[in-house]
């Protein structure tokens, strides 16, 4: 037994080593053809894999579609994505792999925590970085000169919601606002500025309710919310957490109007919360599949080529597609010498660049990398999502 | 004793006094080997690309953490699922000192270790009454409670947002590149290894092992088991704290998301696969577990790269392989890589007359 | 008062869900002294199998549940035979690590088969909450409470009267003595794993109906550890009582402490209690006290 085990392991080890050797040898791209490689650090198997995987698919689909249409100004493009499973250790390694070994000039990232953790390296190595996170921590251009936000930051999204709500508010007293979120960098980045803005507008900030992203029950939080008599509550969380909140709020007869930000307002919430999601509002920085915008034609063409339709994708797919689109537009504008600073310069020349209607037009400059301050307000009505406003800003 | 012919393998250890018996390296050949390895690592950044240096940095940090955990689990027989949190304590203490108070990194680093040791010792107190599973779960509670503390003390830790840490400086030199940090980590790792190897030549080290083998018997022999259990917890957490502080300053940023239970489990896996109760085992385990995901990923890229549809399955498979390897190691070689390496060496030492 | 009652009752029904998950831990520990860190993944497998049967193969829900449970019997036996059998009598740390490895392995396989997307059961339990006086409860939680109580009765009767149950208790009490009486301990342990997998699947199906199924559901496996310790690792009634106590405690902490110190107490309170329990009564409320002799 002992003996067999030992040799079994030795063989396993040798096979692994041989495979690695083979893998290292064969990993290089075919020579001759020019290929532009952009890196990706996205969570596909970790705790945010449910939304990370479609985001990744969307970004990859964009690349595939562009290549099938003849490439970016004739060059093939490629997205080299590493799954980091929302693990900071792996994110750091993935970053080093992409920048120091593959040598990518720019990266599509994912979460708030890791984007924030990497922003120092990103600035030092001069790698333009477009993340799936729109955290306020990334907007300070002196601190993070290479991070770009392709949608309104979470703070701006909150401001849009509050401003819009305040304008609709017809009563004499000041409206009461509560914040519902989870205790992670993602969940809390908007709080400080958003609260200040709310008070400035004339809101009364009445409560903070913290809910774990994995929670299956939010009864106590919703009871406390009910006691605080908030008129409106801003949700920053994931679809699952939001569905829990909405269901328990309905159960307890909470009258508060909930407004979710980007990640808390999508098709999944409607599916998970069912009737409880009726009337729920959200800030929508990206369009949903099947909407009538020019960019949807390309997505449809791509899906047709795969034998799929809009039902097989969701908003996160569109978000990934659009993020890749803006990144490669920056690459196109950077010219022939593809370096980080050039791509940054390319991105910074974008003025009111419309990502084919998939999101609000973005503008980058060397003063600001907040792509936009615009988003739309949507509401769940009859189980579908209806827009209440056009693209609006808080200003 | 000397080996006269460099091509003749040693076939045993012969000593005539305690001094020789206690030596870490018994043969001149072994000393030569260690020197060669040290030289290789000293000049590593000159031969390989910065990416490999950055991987080496991660491995170095993992080695320090894993040795620490092995002191507790492998040598003293106390289980801890809170190692990740102790790393967090070290990283945050050092981070608060350097980032908020502006102290020198060279004071903050040991301070981080000491703070982790204090907290680790505190959570080690239940070990007097608890054993095995129950102790494991008590340390799991430590993990959850420390994480909670980090998130809910924003005045000190800046809460969930985390804090940005400055790069350490030495003289006028800022250690903000992979290579400069490499030498810091290399020094710390070597110190950690040498210290750990020496501990087990002292009274405390022998007491640890006695506690592991049978704590009641150890106590009958006059060993204060409470003192040594808590010391082991503190020492282990000290290593964790150092590793955490190094990692934080290497990354330049820490947040509660860096020190989750996943980290604790990863370190446990390192020492089990490397070999419990062996300093070399911790080193092998740290290398193996850091490199494994990278190797699996390269393999997945190599085989699945051409088929976009396979990507997700390939990624999920990496986690499955990770779990499978842990189980296989436990079944076939419970003493880990350290034992395997010894077996291989023994095999060639005696070849071709192995019986 | 209504506030208090609402908190109490919602804590109670959440506690029932914890109890359901805790059963699996207790059963396995009872017969083989193993804490199964992969219990959460067993839950997930059960939920996913049932979901696939209902959604893709259009099997009626009761039939799907029955099919799922029988598949989980096989899963439990296979896992025990392939993974856990070599660890009988091994050190605690090896066993813990083996079940952690098992959980990673299962999670990987689950993600290969079902991906990471959140999937939902088509409305099986009505989502209209039930009103009990001033207190409101979701139907699915009431179902969980009922199932937990039924399982408690079933297991109590099973361990007390059925010959398999008595044999299992004997094996748990002293494996060597049981072996010498001609009891096949291996067979008993295999049966235990099968039962534990079934219980986990029941829990998984109910949990999956609360808020959809995705891999992070498995996290509840870790969250119920305080329940198991509080109740006593080897006590079936302990799992239920522990579940209720922790559920209510969480609820009270969430209701009264959260507003005071800014939230998040709900998740940590059980672990703080856990530390206290371990200091005072390490074997839990109903667990068997082990006296160490030299």
pLDDT tens digits, C40-63:
999 999 999 999 999 888 889 999
Could you tell me if A301 and A254 lie in one domain?
no
Task: Give, for A266, the enclosing helix (H) or strand (E).
Answer: none
Residue B117 counted as domain residue: yes
**Under an 8 A CB cutoff, do A116 and B162 touch?**
yes
What does chain B come to in residues?
355
Average pLDDT over residues C119-124: 82
Nearest CA in chain C to A222: C255
Q: Does C109 lie at the interface with B, CB-CB under 8 angstroms?
A: yes
Q: What is the CATH number of the domain that holds A210?
A: 3.40.50.2300
Residue A5 counted as domain residue: no
Average pLDDT over residues B283-292: 91
A161 has pLDDT over 90: yes
B152 has pLDDT over 90: no
Nearest CA in chain C to A47: C216
Average pLDDT over residues B298-316: 69
* More confident site: A310 or B352: A310
Give the position of tokens 């390496």.
B341
pLDDT class of B12 with cuts at 50, 70, 90: low
ipTM: 0.85
Q: Model confidence over B204-247: pLDDT tens digits?
A: 888 999 888 888 888 888 888 888 999 999 999 999 999 999 99
Q: Does B126 lie at the interface with C, CB-CB under 8 angstroms?
A: yes
Q: List phi, psi (to 5°) of A233.
A: -130, 135
> CA B332 to CA B262: how far, in whole Å?
25
Given this model, what pLDDT does residue A357 score?
87
Given this model, what pLDDT does residue A375 score?
92
Given this model, what pLDDT does residue B322 score?
84
Residue A395 counted as domain residue: no
Average pLDDT over residues A281-295: 90
The minimal CB distance from A83 to the residues B251, B315, B343 is found for B315
Q: Which residues of B touch A9 (CB under 8 A)?
A: 328-329, 332-333, 340
Chosen for mutation from B332, B346, B354 (greatest number of chain A CBs closer than 10 Å) is: B332
Q: List phi, psi (to 5°) of C194.
A: -65, -45
CB C229 within 8 A of CB C218: no
Q: Which of residues 280-309 of B touch A (CB under 8 A)?
A: 293-295, 297-299, 301-302, 308
Average pLDDT over residues C138-154: 89
Could you tell me if A255 and A382 lie in one domain?
yes
Residue A91, min C-alpha distance to chain B (Å): 10
pLDDT class of B354 with cuts at 50, 70, 90: low
Given this model, what pLDDT does residue A3 score?
42
Could you tell me if A275 and A298 lie in one domain?
no
A30 has pLDDT over 70: no
Q: Which residues of B touch A137 (CB under 8 A)?
A: 161
A2 has pLDDT over 50: no
> CA B76 to CA B79: how far, in whole Å?
9
Could you tell me if A383 and A235 lie in one domain?
yes
- Please name which of C150, C188, C147 lies closest in space to residue C30, comparing C-alpha atoms: C188
The minimal CB distance from B326 to the residues C93, C97, C264 is found for C97
Average pLDDT over residues A319-330: 92
Could you tell me if A262 and A381 lie in one domain?
yes
Given this model, what pLDDT does residue A337 score?
85
For residue B352, whether the previous peptide bond is cis, meaning omega lies within 30 degrees of 0, is: yes
Q: Which residues of C touch A217 (CB under 8 A)?
A: 10, 14, 141, 210
Q: Does A174 lie at the interface with B, CB-CB under 8 angstroms?
A: no
Q: Per-residue DSSP letters for A131-168?
A: -S---GGG--TTT-TTEEBSS--HHHHHHHHHHHHHHH
Q: Does A68 lie at the interface with B, CB-CB under 8 angstroms?
A: no
Given this model, what pLDDT does residue B219 score?
86
Could you tell me if A117 and A206 lie in one domain?
no
**Under an 8 A CB cutoff, do B152 and C282 touch?**
no
Give the position of tokens 């004793």.
B1
Residue B147 counted as domain residue: yes
Q: How much is the pTM?
A: 0.87
The H-assigned helical ranges of chain C are 2-32, 39-55, 61-79, 92-114, 139-161, 163-173, 175-180, 185-211, 220-223, 225-231, 236-252, 258-261, 265-280
> CA A172 to CA C92: how far, in whole Å?
66
Could you tell me if A243 and A383 lie in one domain?
yes
Given this model, what pLDDT does residue C293 score?
57
Given this model, what pLDDT does residue A188 score?
87
What's the CA angle centered on A93, arms A11 and B149, to 5 degrees?
110
Could you tell me if A383 and A242 lie in one domain?
yes
Q: Please give the share of chain C, as a percent, with pLDDT higher than 70.
A: 97
Given this model, what pLDDT does residue A5 score?
47
Interhelix angle B311-332/B279-304, rounded to 10 degrees, is: 150
Q: Model confidence over B26-84: pLDDT tens digits?
A: 777 778 888 888 888 888 888 888 888 989 999 999 999 999 999 999 899 888 889 99
C78 has pLDDT over 90: yes
Domain span at residue B278 reads 53-289
Given this model, what pLDDT does residue C84 score?
87
Q: Which residues of A touch B329 (CB under 8 A)?
A: 9
CB A197 within 8 A of CB A156: no
The pLDDT mean for chain B works out to 85
Domain span at residue A260 reads 154-284+377-387
Residue A61, min C-alpha distance to chain B (Å): 10
Given this model, what pLDDT does residue A155 score?
93
Given this model, what pLDDT does residue A4 score?
43
The minimal CB distance from A224 to the residues C17, C141, C255 is found for C255
**Under an 8 A CB cutoff, do A6 and B51 touch?**
no
Q: Model confidence over A325-344: pLDDT tens digits?
A: 999 999 989 888 888 899 99
- A35 dihedral zone (left: phi>0; alpha: psi -120 to 50; beta): beta
* More confident site: C223 or C291: C223
Q: Model confidence over A200-241: pLDDT tens digits?
A: 988 999 988 888 888 888 888 898 898 888 999 999 988 889
Could you tell me if A269 and A303 lie in one domain?
no
Could you tell me if A124 and A158 lie in one domain?
no
Average pLDDT over residues A5-11: 49
Task: Give, for C260, the enclosing helix (H) or strand (E).
Answer: helix C258-261
How many domains does chain A divide into? 2
Average pLDDT over residues C165-169: 87
The pLDDT mean for chain C works out to 86
Given this model, what pLDDT does residue C102 score?
93
Q: Model confidence over C221-230: pLDDT tens digits?
A: 888 888 888 8
How many domains does chain B divide into? 1
Given this model, what pLDDT does residue A14 score?
52
Average pLDDT over residues A96-114: 90
Could you tell me if A381 and A245 lie in one domain?
yes
Nearest CA in chain C to B215: C294
> CA B97 to CA B103: how far, in whole Å?
5
Q: Which of B89-93, C176-180, C274-278 has the highest mean pLDDT?
A: B89-93
The minimal CB distance from C105 to the residues B151, B324, B331 is found for B324
Give the position of tokens 């056009």.
A390
A118 has pLDDT over 60: yes
CB B101 within 8 A of CB B165: no
Q: Which residues of A touch C203 (CB under 8 A)?
A: none
Could you tell me if A306 and A192 lie in one domain?
no
What's the CA angle centered on B35, arms B31 and B41, to 5 degrees?
145
Chosen for mutation from C86, C144, C216, C267 (greatest number of chain A CBs closer than 10 Å) is: C216
Q: Per-residue DSSP letters for A309-356?
A: -GGG--HHHHHHHHHHHHHHHHHHHT-SS--HHHHHHHHHT-SSB--T
């Amino acid at each position: 037994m002992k003996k067999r085990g030992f040799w079994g392991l030795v063989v396993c080890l040798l096979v692994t080593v041989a495979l690695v050797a083979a893998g290292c040898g064969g990993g290089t791209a075919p020579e001759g053809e020019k290929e532009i490689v952009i890196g990706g650090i996205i969570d596909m198997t970790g705790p945010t894999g449910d939304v990370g995987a479609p985001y990744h698919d969307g970004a990859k689909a964009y690349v595939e579609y562009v290549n099938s249409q003849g490439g970016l100004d004739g060059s093939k493009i490629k997205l080299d994505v590493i799954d980091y499973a929302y693990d900071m250790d792996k994110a750091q390694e993935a970053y080093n792999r992409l920048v120091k070994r593959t040598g990518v000039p720019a990266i599509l990232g994912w979460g708030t925590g890791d984007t924030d953790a990497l922003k120092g390296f990103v600035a030092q190595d001069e790698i333009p970085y477009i993340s799936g996170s729109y955290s306020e921590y990334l907007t300070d251009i002196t601190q993070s000169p290479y991070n770009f936000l392709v949608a309104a930051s979470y703070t701006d999204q909150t401001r849009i919601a509050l401003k819009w709500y305040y304008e609709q508010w017809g009563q004499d007293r000041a409206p009461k606002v509560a914040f519902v979120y989870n205790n992670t960098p993602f969940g809390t980045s908007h709080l400080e500025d958003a609260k200040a803005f709310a008070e400035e507008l004339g809101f009364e900030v009445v409560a903070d309710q913290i809910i774990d992203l994995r929670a299956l029950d939010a009864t106590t939080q919703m009871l406390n919310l009910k006691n605080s008599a908030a008129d409106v509550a801003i949700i920053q969380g994931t679809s699952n957490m939001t569905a829990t909140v909405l269901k328990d709020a309905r159960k307890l007869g909470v009258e508060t109007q909930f407004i979710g930000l980007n990640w808390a307002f999508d098709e999944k919430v409607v599916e998970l919360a069912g009737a409880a999601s009726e009337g729920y509002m959200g800030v929508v920085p990206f369009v949903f599949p099947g909407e009538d915008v020019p960019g949807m034609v390309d997505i449809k063409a791509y899906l047709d080529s795969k034998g799929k339709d809009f039902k097989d994708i969701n908003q996160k797919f569109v978000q990934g597609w659009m993020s890749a689109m803006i990144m490669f537009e920056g690459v196109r504008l950077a010219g022939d010498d593809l370096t980080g600073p050039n791509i940054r310069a390319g991105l910074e020349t974008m003025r009111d660049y419309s990502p084919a209607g998939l999101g609000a037009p973005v503008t980058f400059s060397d003063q600001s990398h907040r792509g936009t301050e615009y988003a739309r307000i949507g509401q769940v009505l009859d189980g579908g999502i209806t827009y209440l406003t056009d693209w609006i800003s808080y200003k | 004793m000397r080996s006269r012919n460099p091509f003749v393998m040693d076939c045993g250890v012969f000593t005539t006094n305690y001094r020789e018996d206690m030596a870490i390296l018994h043969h001149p050949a072994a000393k030569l080997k260690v020197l060669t390895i040290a030289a290789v690592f000293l000049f590593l950044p000159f031969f390989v690309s910065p990416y490999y240096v950055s991987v080496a940095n991660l491995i170095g940090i993992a080695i320090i953490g894993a040795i620490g955990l092995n002191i507790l689990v492998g040598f003293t027989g106390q289980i801890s699922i809170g190692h990740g949190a102790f790393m967090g304590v070290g990283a945050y203490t050092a981070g608060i000192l350097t980032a908020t108070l502006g102290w020198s990194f060279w004071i903050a680093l040991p301070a981080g270790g000491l703070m982790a040791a204090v907290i680790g010792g505190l959570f080690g107190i239940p070990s007097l009454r608890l054993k095995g599973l129950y102790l494991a779960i008590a340390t799991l509670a430590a993990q959850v409670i420390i994480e909670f503390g980090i998130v809910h003390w924003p005045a000190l830790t800046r809460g969930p947002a985390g804090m940005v840490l400055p790069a350490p400086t030495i003289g006028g030199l800022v250690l903000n590149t992979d290579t400069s940090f490499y030498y810091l980590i290399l020094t710390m790792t070597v110190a950690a290894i040498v210290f750990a190897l020496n501990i087990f030549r002292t009274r405390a080290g022998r007491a640890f092992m006695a506690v592991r083998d049978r704590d009641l018997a150890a106590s009958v022999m006059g060993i204060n088991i409470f003192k040594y259990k808590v010391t082991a917890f503190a020492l282990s957490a000290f290593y964790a704290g150092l590793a955490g502080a190094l990692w934080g300053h290497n990354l330049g940023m820490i947040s509660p998301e860096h020190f989750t239970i996943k980290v604790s489990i990863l370190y446990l896996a390192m020492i089990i696969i490397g070999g419990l109760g062996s300093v070399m085992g911790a080193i092998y385990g740290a290398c193996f577990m850091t490199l494994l995901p990278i190797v699996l990923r390269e393999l997945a890229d190599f085989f699945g790269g051409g088929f976009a549809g396979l990507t997700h399955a390939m990624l999920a498979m990496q986690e499955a392989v990770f779990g499978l390897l842990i189980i296989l190691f436990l079944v076939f070689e419970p003493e880990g890589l350290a034992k395997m390496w010894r077996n291989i060496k023994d095999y060639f030492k005696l070849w071709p007359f192995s019986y | 008062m209504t506030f208090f009652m609402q908190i109490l009752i919602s804590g109670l029904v959440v506690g029932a869900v914890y109890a359901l998950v805790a059963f699996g831990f207790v059963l396995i520990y009872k017969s083989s002294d193993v804490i199964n860190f992969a219990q959460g993944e067993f839950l997930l497998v059960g939920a996913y199998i049932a979901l696939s049967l209902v959604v893709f193969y259009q099997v009626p829900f009761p039939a799907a549940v029955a099919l799922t449970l029988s598949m989980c019997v096989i899963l439990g036996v296979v896992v025990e035979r392939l993974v856990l059998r070599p660890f009988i009598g091994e050190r605690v740390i090896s066993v813990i690590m083996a079940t952690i490895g098992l959980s990673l392995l299962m999670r990987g396989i689950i993600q290969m088969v079902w991906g990471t997307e959140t999937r939902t059961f088509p409305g099986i339990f009505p989502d209209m909450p039930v009103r009990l006086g001033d207190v409101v409860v979701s139907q699915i939680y009431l179902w969980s409470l009922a199932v937990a109580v039924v399982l408690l009765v079933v297991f109590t009767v099973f361990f007390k009267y059925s010959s398999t149950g008595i044999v299992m208790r004997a094996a748990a009490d002293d494996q060597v003595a049981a072996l010498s009486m001609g009891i096949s301990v291996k067979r008993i342990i295999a049966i235990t794993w099968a039962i534990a997998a079934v219980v986990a699947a029941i829990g998984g199906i109910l949990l999956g109906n609360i808020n959809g199924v995705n891999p992070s559901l498995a996290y509840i496996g870790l969250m119920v550890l305080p329940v198991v310790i509080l109740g006593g690792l080897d006590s079936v009634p302990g799992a239920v009582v522990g579940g209720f106590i922790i559920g209510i405690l969480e609820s009270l902490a969430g209701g009264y402490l959260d507003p005071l110190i800014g939230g998040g107490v709900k998740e940590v309170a059980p672990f703080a209690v856990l530390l206290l329990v371990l200091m005072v009564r390490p074997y839990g409320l109903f667990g068997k006290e082990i006296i160490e002799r030299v």
